Amino acid sequence: MRSAPLRFNHPPLSGMSEGTNMVMGSSEDGTDISQDDNGTTEETPEDAILLRQTSVNLVPFIGQRFASQDAAYEFYCSFAKQCGFSIRRHRTRGKDGVGRGVTRRDFTCHRGGYPQMKLSEDGKMQRNRKSSRCGCQAYMRIVKRADFDVPEWRVTGFSNIHNHEMFKLNEAHLLPPSCTMSPDDKSRICIFAKAGMSVRQMLRLMELEKGVKLGCLPFTEIDVRNLLLSFRNVNQDNDAIDLIAMCKKLKDEDHNFKYDFKIDCNNRLEHIAWSYASSVRLYEAFGDAVVFDTTHHLDAYDMWLGIWVGVDNHGMTCFFSCVLLREENMESFSWALKAFVNFMNGKAPQTILTDQNMWLKEAIANEMPDTKHAFCIWHIISKFSDWFSILLGSCYDDWKAEFLRLYNLESVQDFEEGWSEMVEKYELHANKHITSLYAFRSFWALSFLRNYFFGGTMDIYQSGSITAFIQRFLSAQSRLDYFVEELADIVDFKPELPQKLHKVYLKTGSPIESHAASVLTPYAFGKFQEELVLAPQYASFPVDEYCFQVRHHTQISGGCKVIWDSCQGHISCSCSWFEYSGILCRHVLRVLSTNNCFQIPDNYLPIRWQCVSSSSSSRMHSEKIQLLESMASTLMAESVETEERLDVACEQISIVLSHIRDLPTQTHGESAYNCPSDSMILPEVEDSGGIANFTVENPDDPITLAKLKDRLPRVGVDISRKRRHHSGPCCGHFGHDASDCPMTRSDQMSGTTLGYL
């Protein structure tokens, strides 16, 4: 039965005068506060939160939501301009890049606070310059929340009490914070300049587009002329020539570097794309699911920036390619897609994520017909605050929770029924955003996408990592030729993986869990473990020889259908979680557990989530590394017995290292993902404690006699007792430890056994 529709009636607010006083405050825990956290405020109950709106302005209110700090700043700036004052950024809680980052931000009136006397370099007080600050208490406070795993900013404090006169409306727009030019405005001015329009024509046309009175734009004629002058100072033609020359230089230095460009009829650079050798190798392993971000524009060069990225086996963002496009149309996107596939040796991705660009949508359909195209869900959700926060008011949280529930549904039929009920309940029949979302539901709803592999690129948690990675590219902007070199440094930069010294705790004691921990990367194992921990909450009912019905213990009917053929090694679930993520779902794990299956079938351990490549040579490589580590550990334990043994070991190891350094190394730029070194080594799972250790010593750390002697045993320490506790495999075979290994404990162990001695 459908619930009755909800109605939202927001009484209008008359225009605000200079004497309008308004104080609202709310702390993060729900208590009311003032700007200084100790003042007197008036409580604003839930039913008193109104949408204060006139024909020209919106008034901030407690609980109002914004997608970002910048969006809140722009809103408050617009409100301040209508009231006749200016604002500035004030206090924050937290710091960008540290912990949770900035979690609170205050915006205050530009006349808030008092001037402070500062000492000059010679210790004398600076001359007393007149200040506009007079201790005004007007402010707006926003706090970062992460409800439903999606970060957003909410207004928790607001006061509009001023102790000074306000500017007139025709004067306020010239105050510094209001006198700004948005990226969209700059792009429009670029287009107008290319069309040959004069500055006054540009201003008049933008006034008509924005629906503002003559002379009321947030920027002046001088601002536009300065912007055009800054564009002219950038020599686009010469920079384009330098960019092509730089690509040619990189190609000469590395034949695996790839680039392509197109010149228009006026001999100007129209498009250029490039990819590095390491990126092509990464794409071979992790190019099944890619993200193509085309939302950034280089204003100085009037070109669109497109970046292809993906997610590797450790859950880290990896770079594939980059493109600069003169125009944003289907022809440009088609050229970019062709160049990308050509760089990747003709291999198109299985799935591709983009924003909701219709030109790009058509281009992908034409150039990559076998690739599944989807829209980034985090791009969609980030717009909800602007689209629905004011419209739905206090019901916004409930609606958002319902939307995310519909997004995660498994059945298309359940999605269709739930969507209709949601639209009816919240009276959204005529909303253009709801209409558009429903029209393109097959591009974002998981019930339509579960049969396609996305490799974690659609995870909301992963969106922050991808966005931060792309921001590193944007911060590298300078001249175009330098841009390519700086991107190369970013791509080649390999941050220390947290898995190097990482312990994964086995939570269930299941043999399947131990098997997964020994094969999967810590990132993939974490995803697998989440499903395994929830599996016991489900009941499995056999339907026939190969079919099982699996449902949560609280459900009476329904559930998922699991097909398992133990003879053929085939298993599948109607939830399609494995097809979507490459990780077995809780329903399948429940069936395997109840049917006494203690190991995951090999074909359900995807290569892209494993620690090493599945090729025979790579497996042998991994086994040799394990053997070397075990022998090195045994060598250390044996050598520290006496001073004589230690001297012999140091002498012989020096000979081995000298011989190894004379051998050729890997080619320049070879990716670490192609060889099982460092984080690619298979983890060792301890039998006691239920802990898998991912510990890798630094291979570049030189071994010196002093370091070895520092590890000599203290007097009275029983070395043999310590060795008995060593439970790791020593020669690549399980069933004994280093103290009992027939290879390492043999009296015949010599330099020949170690390989080179």
How much is the pLDDT for 412? 92
Q: List the alpha helices (DSSP H) in 351-445.
A: 358-367, 377-381, 384-392, 396-407, 412-425, 432-439
At residue 73, the 3 state secondary structure works out as: helix
Kindly report, residue by residue over 340-384, the tens digit of the pLDDT: 999 999 999 999 999 999 999 999 999 999 999 999 988 898 888
Residue with tokens 């070199």: 485
At residue 559, the 3 state secondary structure works out as: coil
Note if the pTM is more than 0.85. no
Picking from 680, 456, 462, the residue whose alpha carbon sits closest to that of residue 582 is: 456
Could you tell me the two tokens for 752?
Answer: 């020949």
- pLDDT range class, residue 473, cuts 50, 70, 90: low
How much is the pLDDT for 110? 78
Kindly report, residue by residue over 112-146, the tens digit of the pLDDT: 877 776 666 566 655 566 677 888 888 999 998 87
| Distances from the Cα of 654 to the Cα of 16, 90, 130, 712, 757, angstroms | 83, 60, 73, 19, 11
- Percent of all residues in the chain with a pLDDT value above 90, rounded to a whole number: 24
Cα 516 from Cα 692, distance rounded (Å): 11
Q: Which of 3-12, 63-72, 271-280, 446-455 has the lowest mean pLDDT?
A: 3-12
- pLDDT range class, residue 248, cuts 50, 70, 90: confident
Q: Which of 366-370, 521-525, 578-582, 619-623 has the lowest mean pLDDT?
A: 619-623
Cα 90 from Cα 104, distance rounded (Å): 10
Q: Is the model's pLDDT at 184 over the cut of 90?
A: no
Where is pLDDT greater, at 320 or 244? 320
Where is pLDDT greater, at 277 or 733? 277
- Specify the amino acid at residue 719: I
Kindly report, residue by residue over 617-674, the tens digit of the pLDDT: 445 555 676 677 668 878 887 888 888 888 888 888 888 888 888 887 654 444 333 3
Picking from 48, 205, 149, the residue whose alpha carbon sits closest to that of residue 378 is: 149
- pLDDT range class, residue 745, cuts 50, 70, 90: very low
Cα 171 from Cα 154, distance rounded (Å): 30
Could you tell me the two tokens for 426?
Answer: 């919240």
Are 690 and 505 within 8 A, CB to CB? yes
Q: Which of 237-241, 388-392, 642-646 has the lowest mean pLDDT?
A: 237-241
- Specify the amino acid at residue 570: H
Where is pLDDT greater, at 244 or 573? 573
- Specify the amino acid at residue 259: Y
Are 675 and 666 within 8 A, CB to CB? yes
Q: Identify the sign of the CA torsion 12, 17, 18, 22.
A: negative
Q: Is the model's pLDDT at 735 over the cut of 60?
A: no
For residue 413, report the phi and psi dihedrals to the nearest 5 degrees. Answer: -65, -45
Cα 480 from Cα 301, distance rounded (Å): 9
How much is the pLDDT for 739? 47
Q: Which of 299-308, 315-324, 641-650 has the lowest mean pLDDT?
A: 299-308
Instruction: Locate the DSSP E strands across 235-331.
Output: 258-263, 269-275, 289-298, 303-311, 317-325
How much is the pLDDT for 545? 85
How much is the pLDDT for 621? 58
φ/ψ bin of 11: left (φ > 0), alpha (ψ from -120 to 50), beta (otherwise):
beta
Q: Identify the sign of the CA torsion 222, 224, 230, 235.
A: negative
- pLDDT range class, residue 200, cuts 50, 70, 90: confident
Q: Is the model's pLDDT at 493 over the cut of 50?
A: yes
Q: Is the model's pLDDT at 428 over the cut of 60?
A: yes
Could you tell me the two tokens for 280?
Answer: 């092509």
Q: Residue 570 forms beta bridges with which residues?
A: 565
φ/ψ bin of 397: left (φ > 0), alpha (ψ from -120 to 50), beta (otherwise):
alpha
Q: Which residues of 315-332 are buried (b: 16+ CB within 10 A; e: fewer)?
A: bbbbbbbbbbbbebebeb
How much is the pLDDT for 236? 57
Q: Which of 324-338, 472-486, 544-558 has the lowest mean pLDDT?
A: 472-486
For residue 632, report the phi and psi dihedrals to the nearest 5 degrees. Answer: -65, -40
Highest average pLDDT, of 97-111, 266-280, 523-537, 736-750, comes from 523-537
Helix 480-492 vs helix 460-474: crossing angle, to nearest 10 = 140
Q: Is the model's pLDDT at 93 over the cut of 50?
A: yes
| Distances from the Cα of 742 to the Cα of 678, 728, 748, 751, angstroms | 28, 14, 10, 16
Residues 205-225: what's their mean pLDDT?
81
Taking CB atoms within 8 Å and a gap of at least 24, the contacts of 261-269 are 262/335, 264/326, 268/236, 268/237, 268/240, 268/326, 269/240, 269/243, 269/244, 269/326
Cα 670 from Cα 243, distance rounded (Å): 25
Could you tell me the two tokens for 505?
Answer: 């705790």
Are 693 and 499 within 8 A, CB to CB? no
Residues 552-580: what's their mean pLDDT?
90
The rounded mean pLDDT for the chain is: 74
φ/ψ bin of 669: left (φ > 0), alpha (ψ from -120 to 50), beta (otherwise):
left
